Chains A and B, each alone.
Chain A
């Protein structure tokens, strides 16, 4: 079961094989959830969107004709759901963590207490993970989505291009800029640690 392609698994599910769907879910649950989570930055909302994405997969499984890869289809649905969510949030006038507040020009995210390393005993690995998380959070949206699809799902650039709807070369550029930013952010932290 586990060595079958995603497309075959989906086809088996359409034929009534529930186990095939379970395998698909097991394959994608972690990367998909994390891509959504890093995109909407709220666990509760990420859970909702994650569930909605799979519901759409279930509902539309009959429409999937295998012209594209399953992963492309899945992440296109996820991306659209995230965009819808962000649009709704904007429409409802929710204060975004990134939106600059008042005259100070600082965002809510900046003013929130930094949960960072509370004691020096924190493992170096954990510190690094926190910093990476923060650095990824600060990436511009278009760079972040490319970075996450590449890093978490291991998608080929051509596939990311299909999901995002841009040329493959643009995907590569965005990925490169994302990595440069990450590298810069991490170096800055290292420098501040040394001081």
Chain B
């Protein structure tokens, strides 16, 4: 190692990050200039340690800690919102399932089904009595035409009530394949009844609604507004970042519009912490109704 290299490394030695301490020591022992440089550097560092340190004001530290706690609170409320989300999702799925179920239920048949089965069973019993004993099919023989004819004849002998005599499953099939007009008539009568009931219910409902209309409307509007704000917050959180001061300000305004004063205050206070949005946030906070 030469003196030039030593001068570079002297500093490393003093700063306790030496790359070649043995080489530096060796040069220092034989070179008085390098020793002088080493001494100067050491002195300079010792003197630099006397550099006075100042303290930031306690108020600034308090403001920082307040902001840090506010962020935690904001994070917690967002977490709660997400925790609550599955309940909403479950409720929405349940409603959807009910809706789909109601839509797909065949309304014309269902109410009569139980009584129909009873009637059908009775008719079937009487038919059984009137019918000649059905030929029993020997084991292993095929279901041939004579058997089919016997069955058809028996049905034909029932005269005007083939449908009633048919087994329930077949009746349901027939009901489905009945002429369109007949089914429409049934549907019309059904819907007339349902319509009348629904009309009455609607009349009652609208009377109740008319009384609570103004309060409910404002509540609904406020809830919708809050939901919009929450969606905006969720969107920002979905991007895995904290809201910018401008966004905090905008969210404060959003909640203020929605009538959620505490939430608006919280966002304005967050915007208060940034120099660029501080003045506007302060104005917004002043304009908010007092606690």
Contacts and interface: CB of A to CB of B under 8 A. Distances in A.
A131 to B, nearest CB: 8
A125 B44 CA distance: 15
B21 interface: no
Interface string B69-105: 1011001100000000000000000000000000000
B64 A55 contact: yes
B60 A16 contact: no
A33 B60 CA distance: 11
B253 to A, nearest CB: 19
A114 to B, nearest CB: 17
A121 to B, nearest CB: 19
B34 interface: no
Contact of B43 (A30, A157, A175, A183): A183
B65 A21 contact: yes
A156 B19 CA distance: 13
Interface residues of B, number: 40
Contacts of A50: 56, 60
Task: Summarize A's interface: helix, strand, loop or mixed.
Answer: helix
B273 A16 contact: no
B72 A183 contact: no
Contact of B51 (A51, A59, A151, A157): A151
Q: Give the interface residue-count category, chain A.
A: 35 or more
Interface string A124-146: 01001100110010000000000
Given A172-B11, A179-B48, A183-B44, A30 B55 contact: yes
Nearest to A13: B68
Q: Residue among B49, B240, B242 with the most chain A CB within 10 A?
A: B242
Nearest to A48: B275
B223 interface: no
A87 B208 CA distance: 66
B44 A43 contact: no
A114 B40 CA distance: 27
A191 to B, nearest CB: 15
Nearest to B70: A58
Given A47-B57, A182-B44, A62 B72 contact: no
Given A59-B242, A186-B44, A133 B64 contact: no
A54 B64 contact: yes
Contacts of B56: 29-30, 33, 46-47, 50
B65 A133 contact: no
Interface string A51-89: 110110011111100000000000000000000000000
B40 A129 contact: no
A-B interface, 3 closest residue pairs, ranked by CB to CB distance from nearest: A183-B44, A59-B242, A33-B56
25 contacts: A16-B75, A18-B68, A18-B69, A25-B61, A34-B54, A37-B54, A51-B63, A52-B274, A54-B68, A60-B241, A129-B50, A132-B47, A132-B52, A133-B52, A136-B51, A151-B48, A151-B49, A157-B15, A172-B11, A175-B11, A176-B8, A176-B41, A179-B45, A183-B41, A186-B47
Given A31-B53, A50-B56, A172-B8, 17 more contacts: A13-B72, A16-B76, A22-B68, A37-B54, A58-B71, A59-B244, A62-B242, A63-B240, A129-B50, A129-B51, A132-B47, A175-B15, A176-B41, A182-B44, A182-B47, A182-B48, A183-B44
Interface of B: 8, 11-12, 15, 17, 40-41, 43-45, 47-57, 60-61, 63-65, 67-69, 71-72, 75-76, 240-242, 244, 273-275
